[in-house]
Structure 1
Amino acid sequence: MAERGSTDPADTAERTRRRFARRQWRRRWLAWRYVAAIVVLLALVGGSVYALYFSTWLSVQGVSVAGTSSISDDAVREAARVPEGEPLATVDLNAVRSRVESLADIRSADVTRQWPDRVLVRVEERVPVAVVEIGGLIRGMDDSGVLFRRYRSVPDDLPLVKAGPEADVATLREAAVVIAALPPDLVGEVIRLEGETVDEIRLVLRGDREVMWGSADESDLKAEVLARLLDQPAGSYDVSVPSRPATSGQADAADR
């Protein structure tokens, strides 16, 4: 019988072999763990690429439109020409926006992806501040002088801009600046705006009154000065130089 405390060489060898085997297994597991992580990562990337660019699950199934009032949603969709059935990730949003903004009634557009399968087109429509009669057609004009919507007749709530034969795009733009500077109550007094050139703008008001406006420079100040001048009965008001306004003549009180 072996003495107490003695070690059997066979048992010692077996324990050593087992410890070595465990260390070897741990080393292999550490190596394979990194390989497995790389395989999983590649699988995830490959699956994402497939889902984004090849799967019908993330393809365009429709176009949502927001912000319209005077123009129809279908008109916006038709202009957008978003390719349905194609991957949502590859849709050229800038191209869609440019096509929508080519519509005369649209001031600006914002186009975004709505995952998983839609495109959202949010628009801001132009707002008319006046109407312009050109070539027998009555067109709306926004505050930047852009012509868009057509009207059968001059609306009661919008002043008419009459451009002279020498008027150009710059003249219309100046006229728009003038109209946009007027407060709402004063816009209601304007029958028409006449512009021969950018420096010769004149307002015709109700009550057979007229306002010599000059250019669109300092239009906000001119509007403030005119609002105060209108308290004085007169037939003609001159705010072309707002620091030196003038009045003359008598207004037709019966029409005011």
Structure 2
Amino acid sequence: MARRDPAERTRRRFARRQWARRWLALRYVAAVVLLVGLVAGGAWLVYFSSWLSVKGVDVDGVDLLSAAEVRRAAAVPEGEALARVDLDRVRSRVEALAPVASADVSRQWPDRVLIEVQEREAVAVVEIGGQLQGMDADGVVFRDYARAPADLPRVETGSDTGSEALREAALVVAALPADLQAKVDHVQVATVDEISLDLRDGRVVEWGSAEDSDLKARVLADLLEARRAPYYDVSVPGQPTTHG
């Protein structure tokens, strides 16, 4: 058998190495093209395909509001890709509803939005413009009453009482322990620094502002037990006084 020319063998080995390098490069290019295709396809599926578009909105945690009212306020565009829904804007629109203290909005794959609502809780009733309204611990007026609930203290205001004074009054009411709150007929609010409690038995308590309300409540409880008087002043809780 004739021996192959060494130069021929060298050329063949060189050609095989060249082909192997080309094949490796082609495989790398094919893998990159496949990966790009998968990413592009996945992005299209998530952001533009109707397969993962919004088909409904679920609402939890409502009592004062109806689920339909929350959905209308949320204005989630059905048919839009779920991944493209701006959850922060939806939350802001829901939280603009007066009875809503906070809301949490999340995506529920593959095709729904969930809105979880925390509603405000009334701590007092205030009459504004002849209408009885519920006020929460932040002083936000958020609901109407045909008749004042018996278990809520009433807040009475002047014609020029501002929202900041209402907030102070709400903080005072929220700080009252249950046994003391039961003794209160109504809370009188003039300004942020002029808040008083009118008790059910006719006695009056000058409270001042909402500052140190927890301490004022403890001091008042001791005063009511130790001394009966028509007028109590705990606006400076370190130096309480009584009159009459």
Cα distance in structure 2, aligned partners of 1:18 and 1:77: 74
Q: 2:239 aligns with which of 240, 244, 247?
A: 244
Aligned to 2:212: 218
- Report deviation, 1:202: 0.9
Spell out structure 1 runs of 4+ moving beyond 4 A.
11-18
How far does residue 54 in structure 1 lie from its aligned partner after superposition? Answer: 1.9
Deviates most, 45-54 or 123-132:
45-54
Partner SS, residue 191 of structure 2: coil
1:254 maps to what in 2? none
| Separation in 1, partners of 2:41, 2:53 | 15
C-alpha deviation, 1:247, in angstroms: 2.4
Q: Distance in 2 between matches of 1:115 and 1:142?
A: 35
Corresponding letter in the other structure for 1:221 = L
User: Which residue of 1 is the match for residue 85 of structure 2?
Assistant: 91
Correspondences of 1:134-173 after superposition (within 5 Å): 134-173=128-167
Match of 1:42 among 36, 45, 67: 36
2:115 pairs with 106, 116, 121, which one?
Answer: 121
Amino acid across the alignment from 2:243:
S
Q: Please list the CA deviations of residues 51-99 of structure 1 after superposition, one character each: whole Å capped at 9, or x if unmatched.
A: 1222111100111222223322221111101000111121122221111
CA contact (8 A) 1:165 1:196 kept: no
1:207: Cα distance to partner? 1.8
Conserved? CA contact 1:211–1:237, under 8 Å: yes
Offset, 1:213:
0.5
- Report the identity percentage: 60
Indicate the RMSD between aligned Cα atoms, in angstroms: 1.9
- SS of the aligned residue for 1:133 comes to strand
Q: Distance in 2 between matches of 1:32 and 1:73?
A: 57
Alignment of 1:1-256 (within 5 A): 8-10=2-4, 19-232=13-226, 233-249=228-244
Return the index of the structure with the highest Cα Rg: 1
Which whole-Å CA distance do the structure 2 matches of 1:179 and 1:26 have between them?
83
Secondary structure of 1:231's counterpart equals helix
How many residue pairs get matched? 243
TM-score by length of 2: 0.92
Q: What secondary structure does 1:230 align onto? A: helix
| CA drift at 1:10 | 2.7
Name the CA distance, whole Å, in 2 between partners of 1:68 and 1:18: 80
Any gaps of 5 or more consecutive residues in structure 2? none
| Contact in 2 for aligned 1:129/1:140 (Cα 8 Å) | yes
Amino acid at match of 1:199: D
> How many Å separate the matches in 2 of 1:15 and 1:110?
74
Residue 17 (structure 1) shift: 5.8
Matched residue SS, 1:110? strand
Q: Distance in 1 between matches of 2:6 and 2:179?
A: 106
Q: How far apart are the structure 1 equivalents of 2:202 and 2:5?
A: 122
| 2-structure distance, mates of 1:78, 1:143 | 27
> What are structure 1's unaligned runs of at least 5 residues?
3-7, 250-256
Deviations 1:148-194 (A, max 9, x none): 11001111110000001231111111111111111122222211001
